[in-house]
Amino acid sequence: MSQTQFAPLKSRAVITVGGPDWRSFLQGLITQDVETLAVGELRLGAILTPQGRLLYDLFIAGIEGGALLDVEAAHREAILARLTMYRLRAKVDLAISDLSVTAAFPAGEALKISEGFLRDPRLPALGARAYGLVDVTTADEDAYDAHRLALGVPGPSDWLSDKTYPIEADFDLLNGIDFKKGCFVGQETTSRMKRRGTIKNRMLPVTFDGRPPPFGSEILTGELRAGEVLSGRDGRAMAMLRLDRIEGAALTVEGRPVAVERPDWLDVS
């Protein structure tokens, strides 16, 4: 039975959202439903371009009178500026918070969620997250990223802002898009892709021998391009793959054989 680890996620930062209109404000902007978000609940969402491409991922944590937005630290200022741009006359309070972000993992019987930890909405196996916890550290962010990659879950290092559709990054399979919530920025393209099944590319984990190829390295089937390597570590990486070129194909990267893995949660049939 694995012992629970607690890792501070220094790549993440927090924005607080409050005010009388905070729910309707976020509801029309992000991919996730916040009208039904309860205090103590955590959901995954994203901010998209009007054309439906993924700009920023975010976790939304329900708190009394508003929400916490768990975002990439490197993009927090840009996200805050974009939220402010969309605010217009809405009665919404936006502010930078100094709360830390901590991950608890792995999940399972060994993981006993303490007060203040919220279950990760993507997969139960990912564990939980907490905000403001600073006194428990037993692992680092690299160990958490290794756990996430072992589960085949893509992260922010796998997509480039404004280059990827959220469905290509598996947001629809990881509870990051609510297709019943109504309009949001980029909703038309996102819904059409899902409804028509026009999903040609997906992020999937791949395995190989040795060091990870550089980001962007081509994955080939014969002489045809089948995709590209994204973030990874020795023996394993995420990849953006063309679904019509990987089934039963002999794939290579840098001349090395590469195999596609399909986690149980990742149904792309």
- What is the Cα–Cα distance from 163 to 159, expressed in whole angstroms? 7
The pLDDT score that the predictor gives to residue 110 is: 46
What percent of the chain is predicted at pLDDT more than 70? 94
Q: What is the pLDDT of residues 210-224, one digit of tens each?
A: 999 999 999 999 999
> What is the value of pTM for the model shown?
0.93
Q: How confident is the model at residue 194 (pLDDT cuts 50, 70, 90)?
A: confident
As a dihedral over the C-alpha atoms of residue 220, residue 52, residue 45, residue 17, rounded to 10 degrees, the angle is 140
The mean pLDDT of 76-89, rounded to a whole number, is: 94
The pLDDT score that the predictor gives to residue 84 is: 95
Kindly tell me if the per-residue pLDDT of 152 is higher than 90: yes
The mean pLDDT of 182-207, rounded to a whole number, is: 90
| DSSP secondary structure string for all residues of 27-53 | HTTBSS--TTPPTT-EEEEEEE-TTS-
Q: What is the pLDDT of residues 91-143, one digit of tens each?
A: 999 999 999 999 999 865 445 555 678 999 999 999 999 999 767 788 999 99
As a dihedral over the C-alpha atoms of residue 166, residue 170, residue 174, residue 178, rounded to 10 degrees, the angle is 40
Cβ–Cβ under 8 Å, residues 267 and 244: no
Q: Name which residue leads in pLDDT, 1 or 185.
A: 185
Q: What is the pLDDT of residues 10-38, one digit of tens each?
A: 999 999 999 999 999 999 999 999 999 99
Q: What is the pLDDT of residues 228-265, one digit of tens each?
A: 999 999 999 999 999 999 988 999 999 999 999 999 88
Tokens (6 digits) for 129:
């997250």
Give the chain's mean pLDDT: 92
Q: In the 8-state DSSP scheme, what is residue 156?
A: G
Cα-based angle 185, 95, 161 (whole degrees, multiple of 5): 40
The mean pLDDT of 50-72, rounded to a whole number, is: 97
CB count within 10 Å of CB 171 equals 26
Domains of the chain: 5-158 (3.30.1360.120), 200-260 (2.40.30.110)
